[in-house]
A and B are shown apart, each in its own frame.
Chain A
Amino acid sequence: ELKVEQNPLFLSMQEGKNYTIYCNYSTTSDRLYWYRQDPGKSLESLFVLLSNGAVKQEGRLMASLDTKARLSTLHITAAVHDLSATYFCAVASPAYSGAGSYQLTFGKGTKLSVIP
């Protein structure tokens, strides 16, 4: 059974600071996704990481994937209040063999609060 662990689960940080959220997973996968969820809203796709060493950046967020270590990181640079949300990582495994559809196993999410 694939397990996905995120840490920290809660993160309170000041504006302007840097921090990293970690996502560890238990079995081999080369597909990892980061989503953002605002309170009462749905999940918004942030990054899709498809290979070992993949790095994606968008604004103040940068995500990376190390498939050998089964680890992805989401790095926040110079945080601003607008980044306050819950961030989920999700690891893909085939829903069934040869179908082309994938089951996502989600971490518990990291609730980020950026304080002015």
Chain B
Amino acid sequence: ETGVTQTPRHLVMGMTNKKSLKCEQHLGHNAMYWYKQSAKKPLELMFVYNFKEQTENNSVPSRFSPECPNSSHLFLHLHTLQPEDSALYLCASQPVAGSTYEQYFGPGTRLTVT
């Protein structure tokens, strides 16, 4: 158990739907990340939040909208997605203070866009 939880674990949505993915950590970490993992590409960094401030947007389409209301919670709001957005979406958290800066990953949300 890594201490990072994600809900839902599986999501099927149509291209016109709006849904949100949730990530939660109670490890006391201050940096949180969204990654996309698909069959065709290795893990791709999407967004980085550091102390609730977005510090990185890795050229992600605007149909993905992140939100970080506090250091423990991270959301990914989805709207008008495309079938190629089907993937495993992983959340990770990281302690900002510390020597290893190791990232801890949640179990992921398997998203299917129909």
Do residues A100 and B106 form an inter-chain contact, with CB atoms below 8 A?
Answer: no
Contacts of A35 in B (CB 8 A): 105
Taking the nearest CB of chain B, how far is it from the CB of A2, in angstroms? 11
Do residues B102 and A101 form an inter-chain contact, with CB atoms below 8 A?
Answer: no
Do residues A107 and B101 form an inter-chain contact, with CB atoms below 8 A?
Answer: no
Taking the nearest CB of chain B, how far is it from the CB of A35, in angstroms? 8
Contacts of B62 in A (CB 8 A): none
Contacts of A41 in B (CB 8 A): 107-108
Given A95-B50, A99-B50, A106-B43, do A42 and B97 touch, yes or no (CB 8 Å)? no
Task: List CB contacts (< 8 Å) of A1-56 with chain B.
Answer: 31, 33, 35, 40-45, 48, 50
Contacts of B102 in A (CB 8 A): 33, 45, 48
Complex CA gap A35/B90 in Å reads 14
Do residues A104 and B103 form an inter-chain contact, with CB atoms below 8 A?
Answer: yes
How many residues from B make CB contacts under 8 Å with A? 25
Overall SS of chain B's interface? loop
Question: What is the 8 Å Cβ interface bit string for chain B, positions 76-103, against chain A (1 contact, 0 not)?
Answer: 0000000000000010001011011111
Q: Which residue of B lies closest to A101 (CB)?
A: B31
Complex CA gap A44/B42 in Å reads 16
Task: List CB contacts (< 8 Å) of A100-114 with chain B.
Answer: 100-109
Complex CA gap A106/B43 in Å reads 6
Contacts of B50 in A (CB 8 A): 95-96, 99-101
Q: Which B residues lie at the A interface, using CB under 8 A?
A: 2, 30-31, 42-43, 45, 48, 50, 55-56, 90, 94, 96-97, 99-108, 110
Q: Which A residues lie at the B interface, using CB under 8 A?
A: 31, 33, 35, 40-45, 48, 50, 88, 90, 92, 95-96, 99-109
